[in-house]
A and B are shown apart, each in its own frame.
Chain A
């Protein structure tokens, strides 16, 4: 993190994972941004005459039971899914990191109370809780965001807190207090930059978990609602035709796999880049 820019370029040049990850991410974003405009078909328009066509020259990914072009829908879903995933990851990242920071820094009853709450929440698998919350509040994007924010912050809080427990005893943190700086300044300016890296790296793996969770919720009908194109929803809609028209479900599935691989590779690369070993 502290490398001068030339050193940073050198480290990037030697980091194959980061290069591949960034390239895959760029391709994904480009496909999401320009893809829908390059495809002739509208992702929502229904055309029964063209229903359930095999992948071919006219429709490279085929069409679904309502005659919608699968390629157009997969591309249109890219930004829908990425947006949802971004919010579902970034919101808990901020909430969790700040809570973890304060909890580890101040310690005492505040820390103990928070960590007991975390223990209780951890007793349930994350996504069971998310499903429970969305299920009881009703499907929809806002409730989805709320559910993720309420549940996933604990992972970030735990990661950051563990790092803060070490960092707050570091002499530079004590030295900052010694120089007469207030708690907020010491926490945000002196400790946070030193403890946030593992949290950022975890965020990458959390993207992979979240894309699966969001698409699973879509599959279960708890996430984004039709007719908005969404990968999980598309898989769900295609499953009745799986024996005759595999392409309806398989292509959005491949898109999910692609996103998963992208962020896994990116996370590995970022880990090497931000935490050089040896």
Chain B
């Protein structure tokens, strides 16, 4: 594995992100490590508040209005340690080498700019294209993401586009500069199911066309199963299980992954009640001792209350942070 590992596009090692709350700290991401290989679709899955989004935002160091108190650990992108970049280098990297698309296409476009101009802006900024070339490239890009009549629609404003079309526009903006890594934070959550499927297929197609890697963040393990090569499951700020999609989805070795899969409506017979995960996600300001999942875990034993389970390799490339991983998997 070491030859592959050396060529990883993104290496995240022991990422730890702390936020300051009045009088205490909250560790939103607690020792997360993963790698993304070139051309790979990597899924990060978990329920709301488990630290998926904070993980993404730490990769690009943009947090909107509420920056964390500290970010520890190393993030390497294409061999560069991102911890050492200054503001100028970050600006050159964002949107150019690493791009991101957001959850809500309705609010992520600037309502006062024509969509073509929004796509072209990045090309002018990062690639030094002239206004005319950038415009032509923007129209091409709009066509490439499947917006019909791109020639005519590039000078319309976002309000004239439907949700699915706006997500396509956002993808066009994110990919205009041909980034090596696309971070897609719940790109389909705000869309209806048929459009979701189209957008996922589009992302997969563009991944192949452009040869980029994708970090797909979602709470929907069904989406992961459809699209990802490898996946990591997050719970309460930690990665609890990781492996290839086939390993994780068909032979889950962590009780949380099993519970997530069991909760899918497709795994429930008609007339049967859905199987939710009992209890609630832990408060990250006061996480439970030992394994963070033990209060909700059907497999918990006495030791789970005391010991923080280390990742155990249950098969090649498939790790689970559970004391009973080998029995469960």
Contact = CB atoms under 8 A, between A and B. Distances in A.
Interface of A: 1-2, 4, 107, 168-172, 174-182, 185, 189-190, 193-194
Contacts of A181: 91, 95, 121, 125
Contact of A2 (B94, B100, B104, B112): B112
Interface stretch (B35-43, B60-68, B273-281): B60-68
Interface in B106-155: 107-113, 121-122, 125-126
Contacts of B156: 4
A179 B95 CA distance: 4
Contacts of A182: 91
Residue picked from A170, A178, A185, most chain B C-beta under 10 Å: A178
Nearest to B158: A2
B122 to A, nearest CB: 5
B159 interface: yes
B11 to A, nearest CB: 21
Given A171-B107, A172-B109, A194-B110, A180 B159 contact: no
A189 B99 CA distance: 20
A176 B107 CA distance: 12
Contact of B125 (A171, A180, A194): A180
Contacts of B64: 169, 174
15 contacts: A2-B111, A170-B107, A171-B107, A171-B108, A172-B107, A172-B108, A172-B110, A174-B64, A178-B100, A179-B95, A179-B173, A180-B92, A181-B121, A189-B113, A194-B112
A122 B113 CA distance: 35
Interface in B60-114: 60, 62, 64-65, 90-96, 99-100, 102, 104, 107-113
Contacts of A176: 110
Nearest to A174: B64
A96 B145 CA distance: 41
Contact of B122 (A4, A168, A179, A189): A179
Contact of B94 (A169, A178, A190): A178
B111 A171 contact: no
A179 B94 contact: yes
Nearest to B157: A2
Contacts of B157: 2
Interface string B32-67: 000000000000000000000000000010101100
Contacts of B62: 174, 177-178
Contact of A178 (B95, B104, B110): B95
Residue picked from A1, A168, A171, most chain B C-beta under 10 Å: A171
Contacts of B109: 172, 175
Nearest to A2: B157
